[in-house]
Each structure stands twice: as structure tokens, then as C-alpha cells.
Amino acid sequence: MKRADLFSQRLEKHQEELHGKYMELYHDEESFAQLLQIMRQYDGKRSEELKALDVKREANPTWYRDSNMLGVTMYPKLFAGGLKGLKGKLDYLSEQGITYLHLMPLLKMPHPYNDGGYAVEDFMTVDPEVGTNRDLLALTKELRKRGISLCLDLVMNHTADTHEWAMRAKAGEQEYMDRYQCYETYDIPAQFERTMPQVFPTTAPGNFTWCEEMKRHVLTTFYPYQWDLNYKNPVVFNEMAGVIMFLANMGVEVLRIDAVPYIWKELGTNCRNLPQVHTIVRMVRMILEVVCPAVILKGEVVMAPKELPAYFGTPEKPECHMLYGVSSMVNLWAALAAKDARLLKHQMDVIHSLPENCFFVNYLRCHDDIGWGLDEEEEVRLQIDPLTHKEYLYHFFEGVYPGSFARGELYNYDPVSRDARSCGTTASLCGVEKGGFEGDREQVSWGIQRDLMMHAACMSLEGFVMLSSGDEIGQVNDYNYKENPDLAADSRYLHRSAFNWENADRRREEGTVQQRIWDGLGRMETLRRENPCFGKDAYVTTWDTCRMPVFAIRRTTAEEELICLANFSGEEQWACLPTLNGEYLDLFTDETVQPGALRMGPYQYRWCRKIG
């Protein structure tokens, strides 16, 4: 079928709904016509290679749920000096079996203050410190050859205050002021502040920033140098839709929508999770399905589980393809510190109760902190004091709690609310750094065991796994950020450090930390790819083990059954799964075991396949 015919066919499928949604927000036929024109332009510019990928993905629309999916997230500059260097290191990723590469923000940004790249100065230009647009095109072409899908962040909520639009707004051009939410007096901002909570109450006095050049108050939800876009203006939506299609034509296959719950603001509300947000995401999904159906949406929704299903839409009218499994990360670390997997089990039960169209990317660590957003109602039910528990957790992973094996730092500590978040690499939080610093090989071995157990538990969850670059070789915290005055106040740079290639080379040296973690993760990744119980059609549920520290997931297909267990304590446990009968083979140890009384060594993990 000809290119124009395919576009027309896809547009015909969605045009009525797309028009209806657009009119709900904008009531502007001229702007809608301009949107359709932009879509046709980008369809015409899309390469034949990407068009072929579109057709392939339309034939397998749930490709991202396949059991061979293995992700990694990294800063290209820290990993290999930039995009050119990264292209030269792709053999390393292929050796890992990576099929999904999330590069942290690399679009043009102000320096030095850019919130790790989330303050964007130009959505259509690669930052010169990372590379060029030509480098990005060359990289995506090579990634496709290797079967690796590139994910980039789509910062829809705001721009940097040095973006061209912001600069022209500062110069007094009303058209560009209208692309933001700007107010001459504080009357309307004051009304917003009555119901709009602050995201980071310790970093700014409110949600608005005074701009002296404009003589106006500007809505800045996150940081004063990040100006929130005004999606009540159809020009903003059309321009950002153009950005999406531009990135898709650069070869980006996954767009992570940053801070998606915040993109629509309304007086008298908390300005989060509003219905108009879903209208916008639904329109973006339809635009992708018309112009570039190979591209999928991943939402960053750091909200309670009850808020999550709405971001997937419905099977008939879908929105995001997948979301981050933020709650799984938090509960995994809480289970490790508390030696108690009950909150983790409860959280996974909530996730498993969500509709079938809900799908998550699970991870232990990412570029950001660990925010201790646990289910407080469940904590109370389990007779756990939420605030005391939170304080214990962040002090434990700070390494100051007696007996802690962790080494980390606090982030955004608020002495009034006694809230704080935690930073550090997986290896450091699991005890590898402490043992190495103290020259204690036994401590290091236990740190490696915890590290692998945490990854095994994460890999057992429904969804696919995304590693944090460096975790595969046990990279520890880097405290050198404290010597840089531009970074010293942000403890997240503790785990945002340059990749250590010298240590990576040690992954082939028997007995090294790097080899033990690399090979341990490799074994898990191979089992995930090969076992049908990790496939997208498997039924997944938690299972009671009768032991607080032992977490269990049961994965089944019509012919196969697999039980994944993890002991979150440093003591031996005898787990009991009395309703399961028969014999099982531990795929890691080759032992034949029975679930009625199953020994779990300290921090042991087992994946047991039923054999009789």
C-alpha cells in the first residue's frame, strides 16, 4: 500500500475522535486543520525504514511485552562521552542482551542549571555537550539493526526559561506570553496556591516565580527556571505534537512523558490528574497511531495505584502503553531494610488487580531518588507507624542506623514534615561499598548476594525490567559531585556518575565483584528470555509464604508453572506454600524442592519450575 494511502487509512480510523477531543479543549477548527497539516508534513518526511517498522509493529502491537525485553537507562555523556562514544560501545549493550535503551535528557539545555536535562531549551536539537542531531540519527539507525528500541524523555509540562518561547515572552511578545501562564498581579496565583500543593516544598516558596523582564508571575511547578506550558492554548498542543513527530522521525521508538499528571492546570483543583490530561494523552496516542505507529508512550506517573489505570485509558480508547513501576521500586527497598515483604506483597496485589491493559516497567534504581511513598493505610493495618517507618527507612539507607549495611545520602530533607528521600546506587545501598571500604570480603559477598536477590525479585514482577547503567557491574556511589559547586547541593549526583570502563573490563575476571554481579544478572536474563512463564500471556499473582521476609510470585501458563521466591532477611527462613503440591526444580541451583517446606538461605532467591 502506498504511503499516502496508509496515512489516509489510519487518519480515517481516528479523525472523528481526534476532532471531538480537540474541540472539547479548544473549540478551534482552524487550529485543528493546522494540526492535521503538521501530521501530513511529518508523515511525508518519515523514512522508508521507519515506515517499514511502523507496519511491523502494527502487526505485533504488544511487542514491548515480549519476554526478551531488557532495558537500561543511562546518561550518554556519562556512559561514553556522548552519542558518538555511545555508538562505539553498543557491543557492550548487545552482550548484555539489551533491547530497550533509555537515554536521559539529551536535548539542548541551559548550563549549568538544567534539572538533569529536564529544563529544555530546544526540543528539536541535541545538546552540543552530548552530540548533534546527525549523531542521534546515526545512533538510532545502528540501534534498529541490533533490535534495540530507543527511549527519550518528552518534557511536556514545561520549558527552560531560556527556551526561545520564554525569551520572546520576556521581550514582551504577547503571543509567547500566552504559551505560558503569566499574571500581572498575584491575585490568580494566590487562588491557585490555595489548592495546588508544592512538588518540592523545600526548594521554592511557591508554585509561581516573578519574572522581572516581563513584570509578571509565571507558573513554575517544579523549579523557578522551568516555566509551565499553557495547554489551554491550542498553539502549544500543536507545537508539542510537532516535537513528538519530529523525535519519532529521528528514530525514537519510546517517548517517556515526563510529569504527565501535571500538564493541565485548573483553578480550584490540585492541578494533578485532571480529566483534560487524559484528553491530551489520548490525542497524542492517536497522532502516533496515524503518523508513526511504531512509537509507544511511557508515562511517568508518580501517584497512588488507584490513579494509574486512567493513564492507560481503555482497550477501546488507549492512552499510555506502559508506566513506570514506581511503587515496586519503593516497596522492594522497604522490604530489604525492614526484613518484611508484607507491604511489597500488598502493593503487588493492588497492581495485579488493575485491568489487563495496565503494564509496567520495573526497576530498582534510576536517575532519581527513592521517594518513600508507601501505602500508609496498609501500614496502619499492619500496625506500622508510617512516619516512624519512613524515618527508619531513610536513615537505614543513609547508613546511620545501627547495623545498617547501606551507604547512601538524604535528598530533600524537610525538618518540619520529617520527610526525606534516599539516594545511592544499588550496590552501595546493598552493602557492597561498605564492605569494600572496610576491606571485609565477607561483607562484600553479602552485599553482592543482596544485590542479586533484589534484582531477582524485581525481575519476577509482572512487566519488564530496566537496569540502571553501572548496576550490572556493581558500580558504587561517587562522592566527587560534592567538589562541584553547581552540583554539591543535589545528592542525586551521588549515583549520577561516569561509567567506570576499567571496572567493566573486570566482568571477565573470575571472582571479582563485577564478574559475580554480571554473571548473576546474565543468568536471570537468560532464564527470563527462555521460560514461557515470563511471556506476555502468563498469569501472575503473589503467593503467601507464611514468613514475613519471604516474598513469592507465581507465574503460570496453560502448560507451565514457575514460583519465584526472595528472602529479604539475613536469616535462614523456612517458607511454606501449603496449597502448592508436587515437585519443583530450582533453576539456579538445580535442586529438586517441595513448596510445603522450602528452605531459604539468607538473602536467597529461587525460581522454581514445576516438574511433577
What is the 8-class DSSP label of residue 318?
B
Contact of 146 with 152, CB cutoff 8 Å: no
CA distance 609 to 612: 9
Q: Classify residue 581 as left (phi > 0), alpha (psi -120 to 50) or beta.
A: beta
The model's confidence at residue 202, banded by pLDDT at 50, 70 and 90, is low
Per the CB < 8 A criterion, the answer to whether 513 and 323 are in contact is no
The dihedral through the CA atoms of 194, 200, 202, 206 has a sign that is negative
Nearest to 379 by CA among 413, 414, 334, 349: 334
Q: Say how far apart CA 558 and CA 561 lie, in whole Å.
A: 8
Catalytic residue status for 153: no
DSSP lists the bridge partners of residue 72 as 101, 467
**Residue 581: what pLDDT?**
87
pLDDT in tens, 292-301: 999 999 998 8
pLDDT tens across 356-403, in order?
Answer: 999 999 999 999 999 999 999 999 999 999 999 999 999 999 999 999
Average pLDDT, the chain: 95
Cβ contact 88:98 at 8 Å: no
Radius of gyration of the chain, Cα coordinates, nearest whole angstrom = 24
> Is residue 42 packed enough to be buried (19+ CB in 10 Å), middle (13-18) or exposed (0-12)?
buried
Structure-model confidence comparison of residues 2 and 241, the more confident one: 241
Whole-number pLDDT of residue 2:
63
Joined together, the cell numbers standing for residue 541 give 499473582
What is residue 470's predicted lDDT score, i.e. its pLDDT? 98
Tens digits of per-residue pLDDT, 527-552?
A: 999 999 999 999 999 999 999 999 99
The average pLDDT across 134-147 equals 98
- Average pLDDT of span 156-168: 97
Other Cβ atoms less than 10 A from the Cβ of 119: the count is: 23
Strand extents, DSSP E, 145-212: 149-154, 158-160, 182-183, 208-211
Region 42-65 average pLDDT? 96
Q: What is the pLDDT of residue 266?
A: 96
What is the C-alpha separation between 241 and 43, in angstroms, rounded?
Answer: 13
Average pLDDT of the segment spanning 45-51:
97
pLDDT at position 580 is: 86
Please determine, for residue 117, whether its predicted confidence score (pLDDT) is greater than 70: yes
Contact between 466 and 419 under an 8 Å Cβ cutoff? The reply is: no
Q: Is 369 a catalytic residue?
A: no
Name, in order, each residue with C-beta under 8 angstroms of 424's C-beta and a sequence gap of 6 or more.
397, 406, 407, 408, 409, 477, 494, 495
pLDDT at 145 over 80: yes
Task: With residue 585 as reference, give the H or E element that holds it.
Answer: strand 584-586
Q: Give tens-digit pLDDT for 421-473.
A: 999 999 999 999 999 999 999 999 999 999 999 999 999 999 999 999 999 99
pLDDT on residue 307 = 81
* Nearest Cα residue to 303 out of 276, 280, 330: 330
Q: Please provide the distance, in angstroms rounded to a whole number, between the alpha carbons at the two ends of the chain.
A: 51
Domains of the chain: 1-107+123-153+234-324 (3.20.20.80), 158-228 (3.90.400.10), 330-530 (3.20.20.80), 535-610 (2.60.40.1180)
Q: Give me the catalytic one of 121, 258, 289, 525.
A: 258
C-alpha torsion sign, points 115, 119, 122, 123:
positive
Q: What percent of the chain has pLDDT over 90?
A: 93
For the segment 78-101, the average pLDDT, to the nearest whole number, is 98
Tell me the per-residue pLDDT of 563-583, one tens digit each, with 9 for 90 and over: 999 999 999 999 999 888 899
Residue in the structure block whose three cell numbers are 502448560: 559
pLDDT band with cut points at 50, 70 and 90 for residue 172: very high
Residue with cell 496508509: 6
Cβ burial, residue 40 (10 Å; 0-12/13-18/19+): middle
Instruction: Tell me the pLDDT band of 5, cut-offs 50, 70 and 90.
Output: confident
Predicted confidence band at 599 (pLDDT cuts at 50, 70, 90)? very high
The answer to whether 219 and 210 have CB atoms below 8 angstroms apart is: no
Catalytic residue among 121, 161, 300, 319: 300
Q: Is there a contact between 536 and 307 (Cβ–Cβ < 8 Å)?
A: no
Mean pLDDT over 312-331 rounds to: 94
Percent helix / strand / coil, the chain, rounded to 5: 45, 20, 40
Ranked by mean pLDDT, the top range of 1-10, 237-246, 297-306 is 237-246
DSSP secondary structure letter of residue 317:
S
pLDDT at 203: 63
Question: pLDDT confidence of 46, banded at 50, 70, 90?
Answer: very high
- Confidence band, pLDDT 50/70/90 cuts, at residue 326: confident
Which of 602, 555, 535, 532 is CA-nearest to residue 574?
Answer: 602
Mind listing the pLDDT tens digit for each residue in 221-271?
999 999 999 999 999 999 999 999 999 999 999 999 998 999 999 999 999
Amino acid at 438: E
Question: What integer pLDDT is reported at residue 3 of this predicted model?
Answer: 60
Exposure b/e, 481-518, CB count within 10 A at least 16 = b: beeeeebeebbbbbbbbebbeebbebbeeeebbbbbbb
40-63 mean pLDDT: 97
pLDDT value at residue 306? 78
**Under 8 Å between Cβ of 588 and 606:** yes
Amino acid at position 114, single letter: N
Task: Check if the beta carbon of residue 389 is closer than 8 Å to that of residue 374.
Answer: yes
The set of cell numbers assigned to 87 is: 555508538
Task: Using pLDDT thresholds of 50, 70 and 90, give the confidence band for residue 1.
Answer: low
Query: How many angstroms separate the CA atoms of 294 and 288, rounded?
Result: 8
Write down the pLDDT at residue 612. 84
Work out the pLDDT band at 302, boundaries 50, 70, 90.
Answer: confident
